Amino acid sequence: MINIVLFGKPGAGKGTQAEFLKEKYNLVHLSTGDIFRFNMKNGTDLGNLAKSYIDKGDLVPDEVTTKMLIDAVNANPGAKGFLFDGYPRTISQAEALDAFLESKGTQNTATIALEADDNILVARLLERGKTSGRIDDQDEDKIRNRYQEYNEKTAPLMDYYKQQGKFHAVDGIGEIAEITSRLGNVIDNL
Ligand code: ADP
């Protein structure tokens, strides 16, 4: 089984790249943001709860997110591997993921970060907000808040994975296909 954590700031292109990688490596793509938005659209209890955080650009509480992620993995018993996109975003989530994968007799193979400059990313998100309908993409203050959440809670994961010898980074600026091939080079050499 190969399990990849795709890591990066909001707007870094995790979702875009995941679409290519899941085909290439036959992985189940689990995007916590997509699962939350699906629930929000359908007005589920989980969606209503998540919306109160997401629309402000805050992280959804760990217990809620981790339970959702575990349910999503368990819903795919035949999977050859998973591509985690948007999870983990806190140390507590990373620890929960490690423990959960271990309990399934598997592990996180590698965490791969897409790196890009903040100013480029904010501009990308504002552009995406014009068509995505995402409230959290439409207001610069909310976007800045997501970066603050990232810096405070998610950035420490880089050291967490470096200590495990599992952290890899690729340049997230360039043509989409070029970035896919950079990610592929990392995965092929794992
Ligand atoms: P982006 O990477 O552009 O911020 P996502 O679609 O990955 O977009 O996430 C959108 C929002 O969903 C986040 O700002 C956060 O509120 C919530 N969210 C997604 N994943 C998590 C997570 N692992 N933990 C807590 N909140 C999350």
Report the pLDDT value the prediction gives residue 89, as an integer from 0 to 100. 98
Neighbouring residues of 100: CB distance < 8 A, sequence distance ≥ 6: 70, 73
Cis peptide before 61 (omega within 30 of 0): no
Report the pLDDT value the prediction gives residue 114, as an integer from 0 to 100. 98
From 51, 56, 124, 134, active-site residue: 134
φ, ψ for residue 60 (rounded to 5)? Answer: -75, 145
Report the pLDDT value the prediction gives residue 173, as an integer from 0 to 100. 96
Neighbour-count burial of 163, counting CB atoms closer than 10 A to its CB (0-12 exposed, 13-18 middle, 19+ buried): exposed
Report the pLDDT value the prediction gives residue 20, as an integer from 0 to 100. 97
Q: How many Cα atoms are found within 13 Å in the side-chain-facing hemisphere of 112? A: 29
CB contact at 8 A, 172 and 179: yes
Question: Has 37 been annotated as catalytic?
Answer: no
Rounded to two decimals, what is the model's pTM? 0.96
Question: Has 128 been annotated as catalytic?
Answer: yes
pLDDT tens-place values along the chain, 190 residues long:
999 999 999 999 999 999 999 999 999 999 999 999 999 999 999 999 999 999 999 999 999 999 999 999 999 999 999 999 999 999 999 999 999 999 999 999 999 999 999 999 999 999 999 999 999 999 999 999 999 999 999 999 999 999 999 999 999 999 999 999 999 999 999 9
Domains of the chain: 2-180 (3.40.50.300)
Q: Which residue has the tokens 């997110």?
A: 65
Distance CA 24, CA 3 (A): 13
Pocket of ligand 1 (CB under 6 A): 10-11, 32-33, 36, 53-54, 57-60, 65, 86-89, 93, 136, 146
| Distance of CA 189 from the midpoint of ligand 1 (Å) | 29
Neighbouring residues of 170: CB distance < 8 A, sequence distance ≥ 6: 112, 113, 114, 115, 179, 182, 183, 186
